[in-house]
Amino acid sequence: MRLLPALLALAAARPLACADSHWCYDIQAKASNYACLGPSQWGGDCKKNRQSPINIVTTEAQVDPNLGLFSFSGYDKKQKWKVQNNGHSVMILLEDEASVTGGGLAARYRAKQMHLHWSKELDKGSEHTLNKVRYAMEMHIVHEKEKGTSRSEKEAQDPKDEIAVLAFLVEAGSEENDGFQPLVEALSYIPRPKMNTTMNDSISLLDLLPKKETLRHYFRYLGSLTTPGCEEKVVWTVFQERIQLHKDQIAAFSTKLYYDSEQKLKMTDNVRPLQLQGQRLVFKSQAPGQLLPLPLPTLLVPMLTCLLAGFLA
């Protein structure tokens, strides 16, 4: 008869865990006594060898002159965006309102959604690391390739870049970031999974990004989604310049949001462990000092010759 209370207790604890064998992050797998599947048990393509995130060794990234400026369209449109707790992150629904071209991408890509990864600790929340340095948060703007805008037939059939994710690392700064405040305030209205709200104030996507002139510096590699099924169809852009948020704004994500509908497990540390880079190359856009690849005398001599010729004529 002693078994019954134990079984009842187990049944009561059950909703805390994932109802089915749903995927989750390490922290939630441990807290639910492995009732949900942590990253080492993720299925789909998650065990393949072109996975994300990775550690980017900045000195080993190769300069690719094709990685030019991005051209953002609709990124400046101010709007009261819909925000959702999807059980794994907080997501802004972008509904094709914005798109991006350039930046070495093979086509136009339409913005679908934006979400973030974070931790309670300021050096544990990003998915990608730069030279093994992990940042407070990482923001992903997820775009899908627009059909019929590929530069060639071959590219149209190449599924490796069906999705373009623009990734921004976030670090703690001394000031409040006004652009992020409507999103931070929305978090209080969506504590539980599947809850939705609308921002109280209008912001544009550009309001969330670092200064536009810094966006010419970025890293590029081919990888995967960082959540199951981990499909290997993502062209990744990881920007060098960090977004700065006040530490209280960063903390709001781990304190206001819950992973479970009983509000027992905080939504935090939603970060997939680093994956092996393997044979893949990481590229970088041209560094500022490298914009003039020719040594100065090579440019000066013809200029002076022209000037002299002008005088002598």
Residues in touch with Zn ion (CB under 5 A): 140
Q: How far is the CB of 119 from Zn ion (least distance, A)?
A: 14
Q: In terms of DSSP H, where are the helices of 98-245?
A: 153-157, 181-186
The β-bridge partners of 239 are: 218
Q: How far is the CB of 52 from Zn ion (least distance, A)?
A: 9
Alpha-carbon span 96 to 75, nearest angstrom: 11
Q: Which is nearer to Zn ion, 50 or 216 (CB)?
A: 50
Q: Which is nearer to Zn ion, 134 or 140 (CB)?
A: 140
Q: How far is the CB of 115 from Zn ion (least distance, A)?
A: 6
Q: How far is the CB of 236 from Zn ion (least distance, A)?
A: 11
- Give Rg (Cα) of the chain: 23
User: In 26-136, which ranges are E strands?
Assistant: 55-56, 62-63, 70-73, 82-85, 90-93, 99-102, 109-118, 129-130
Q: Which is nearer to Zn ion, 144 or 176 (CB)?
A: 144
Chain position whose Cβ is nearest to Zn ion: 140
Q: Which is nearer to Zn ion, 140 or 242 (CB)?
A: 140
| Catalytic site includes residue 22 | no
Query: What does the block give as tokens for 39?
Result: 């990253």
**Phi, psi (deg, nearest 5) at residue 172:** -80, 130
Catalytic residue among 22, 88, 117, 140: 88
Q: Within 10 Å of residue 129's Cβ, how many Cβ atoms?
A: 19
Known catalytic residues are 88
